Amino acid sequence: MTILVTGGAGFIGSNFVLDWFKSSDEPVVNLDALTYAGNLENLAPLKDDSRHIFVKGDICDRALIDQLLATHRPRAIVHFAAESHVDRSIHGPGAFMRTNVEGTFSLLEAARAYWSALQGDAKAGFRFHHVSTDEVYGSLKPEDPPFAETNPYEPNSPYSASKAASDHLVRAWHHTYGLPVVTTNCSNNYGPLHFPEKLIPLMIVNALAGKPLPVYGDGQQIRDWLYVTDHCSGIRAVLAGGALGETYNIGGWNEKANIDIVKTVCALLDELRPDPAGPYSRLITYVTDRPGHDRRYAIDARKIERELGWRPAETFETGIRKTVAWYLENEAWVARVQSGAYRDWVSQQYGD
Q: Give the residue numbers annotated as catalytic, written as ranges.
A: 134-135, 159
Pairing state between β 188-190 and 52-56: unpaired
Q: Which residues contact 34 (CB under 8 A, 6 or more apart)?
A: 9, 40, 56, 343, 346
C-alpha pair distances (Å), 25 with each of 21, 87, 296: 6, 38, 40
CB count in 10 Å sphere of residue 212: 13
With CA atoms as reference, report the closest residue to 269 among 278, 258, 260: 278
C-alpha pair distances (Å), 312 with each of 135, 145, 235, 277, 302: 20, 20, 12, 37, 11
- How far apart are alpha carbons 322 and 67 in whole angstroms? 40
Instruction: Return contacts of 143-148, CB within 8 angstroms, 24+ apart.
Output: 144/296, 144/298, 145/298, 145/300, 146/224, 146/251, 146/298, 146/299, 146/300, 147/185, 147/249, 147/297, 147/298, 147/299, 147/300, 148/249, 148/300, 148/303
